[in-house]
């Protein structure tokens, strides 16, 4: 019999909704001698079984559930089967971008605490779970086996385990190739026809923001003949798509010169630099200095203004400020593209902010489309944490 963790009635209600995390404040009994990272069963006060996962003795997330089948062994076979299932899903929804996509998206792929992205022949992994970390060799071996069995040219795994959340699990932070492979850390991917420089060692997240691929194409399809402003452009994802869609001119603004330099290299790589300008500036100040009617499309895709529930109120004000600024700059018929990548900025709050911004700016918003993250970042309707990106396109009338 496996060791067990007994949870409170509140914890039981939480898990019955489909949640895959069990927090320490809902644990009422467990044996301290259980080895950290070991599989444990979760039991109610009435001894009802609710799931099995790996225990994390230092984290506030005490157990991350991997299965609700008490007889299922958490061994290499189950991991490889789940990787195969996740890969088959990507081959269906991301067939055209299978060499640059998210292969594993944590809980949504039944791997809580694991993210794996693919950039051509390199896999980039992040692990934020103690139980998975001590089993990473088995996981990485299975990943490579699944891809190579499908004839995919994948050479190695780079670990971007330099994320702060690992310290909450009692894990060290580091980055580097698994098993000390000697491979390049830079590559050029093809995203829907655009070539993009990727630096898996020093780039944001695992090297690039893959979750906006389909949304960037939405801008591309609107941009023909338009003057486009891309705020918080980073390395130019949206700006490049606008230029690729034959915008008359694209202005890309960011506070990071390093990111802008990479954006310009991407523009050169695609022969788009003649119709693009890269501007180093604080977006809030830059918008204050723009003239009404200067742009036909304004894109607002900022970094997360809040990474916890404690700072949502401040973030709300920041989102509202930039949206009012953008709305006041656009003429009637102009297009506003606005997004938040923070899961703590709830959908209702973000839409409330947009309505308030429109009223204060004196404009009416006509919805063009509302989307979320790309399909390779799937959302579980039973677990809110898998849903984070909100993406809106409006015409102003």
The residue ranges of the chain whose pLDDT is under 70 are: 1, 306-308
Both tokens of 138, joined, read 């088995």
- Domain boundaries of the chain, sorted by first residue: 4-67, 76-188, 209-396
Residue 299 has a pLDDT of 98
Residue 189 has a pLDDT of 97
Residue 306 has a pLDDT of 67
Task: State how beta strands 4-7 and 39-43 pair.
Answer: parallel
272: Cβ–Cβ under 8 A, 6 or more apart, which residues?
240, 243, 244
Tell me the whole-structure pTM to 2 decimals: 0.93
For residue 214, give the H/E element and its range: helix 213-222
Both tokens of 57, joined, read 């003795």
**Cβ contact 158:185 at 8 Å:** yes
Give the domain 209-396 fold. Answer: Rossmann fold (3.40.50)
The closest of 355, 368, 347 to 327, measured between CA atoms, is 355
For 76-188, CATH gives 3.30.750.80
Distance CA 151, CA 258 (A): 36
Residue 303 has a pLDDT of 82
In this predicted model, what pLDDT tens digit does every residue of 274-330 receive, in sequence order? 999 999 999 999 999 999 999 999 999 998 776 667 777 888 899 999 999 999 999
Phi first, then psi: what are they for 187, rounded to 5°?
A: -155, 170
DSSP 137-152: HHHHHHHHHHHHHTT-
**Cβ contact 257:235 at 8 Å:** no
Distance CA 51, CA 320 (A): 42
Residue 312 has a pLDDT of 79
Instruction: Give the gyration radius of the chain's Cα atoms.
Output: 23
Asked if the 4-67 domain carries CATH number 2.30.130.10, the reply is yes
């Amino acid at each position: 019999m496996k060791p067990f963790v007994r949870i409170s009635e509140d914890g039981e209600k939480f898990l019955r909704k489909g949640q895959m995390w069990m927090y320490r404040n809902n644990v009422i009994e467990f044996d301290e001698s259980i080895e950290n990272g070991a599989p444990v069963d979760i039991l109610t006060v009435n001894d009802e079984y609710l799931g099995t996962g790996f225990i994390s003795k230092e984290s506030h997330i005490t157990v991350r559930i991997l299965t609700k089948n008490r007889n299922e062994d958490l061994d290499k076979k189950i991991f490889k089967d789940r990787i195969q299932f996740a890969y088959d899903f990507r081959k269906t929804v991301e067939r055209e971008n299978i060499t640059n996509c998210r292969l594993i998206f944590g809980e949504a792929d039944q791997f809580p605490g694991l993210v794996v992205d693919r950039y051509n022949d390199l896999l980039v992994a992040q692990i934020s779970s103690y139980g998975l970390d001590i089993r990473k060799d088995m996981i990485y071996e299975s990943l490579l086996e699944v891809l190579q069995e499908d004839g995919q040219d994948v050479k190695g795994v780079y670990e971007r385990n330099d994320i702060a959340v690992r310290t909450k699990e009692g894990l060290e932070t580091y980055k580097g190739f698994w098993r000390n492979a000697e491979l390049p850390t830079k590559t050029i991917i093809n995203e829907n026809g655009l070539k993009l420089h990727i630096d898996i060692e020093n780039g944001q997240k695992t090297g690039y923001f893959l979750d906006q691929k389909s949304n960037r194409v939405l801008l591309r399809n609107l941009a023909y003949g338009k003057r486009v402003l891309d705020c918080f452009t980073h390395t130019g994802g949206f700006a490049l798509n606008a230029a690729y869609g034959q915008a008359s001119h694209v202005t890309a603004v960011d506070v990071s010169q390093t990111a802008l330099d990479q954006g310009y290299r991407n523009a050169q790589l695609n022969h788009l630099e003649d119709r693009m300008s890269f501007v180093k500036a604080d977006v809030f100040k830059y918008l204050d200095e723009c003239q009404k009617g200067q742009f036909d499309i304004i894109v607002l895709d900022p970094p997360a203004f809040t990474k916890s529930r404690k700072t949502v109120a401040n973030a709300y004000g920041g989102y509202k400020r930039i949206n009012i600024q953008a709305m006041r700059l656009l003429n009637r018929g102009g297009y506003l593209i606005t997004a938040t990548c923070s899961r703590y900025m709830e959908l209702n709050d973000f839409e409330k902010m947009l309505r308030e911004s429109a009223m204060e700016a004196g404009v009416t918003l006509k919805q063009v489309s509302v989307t979320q993250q790309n399909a390779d970042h799937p959302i579980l309707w039973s677990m809110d944490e898998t849903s984070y990106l909100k993406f809106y396109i409006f015409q102003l009338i």
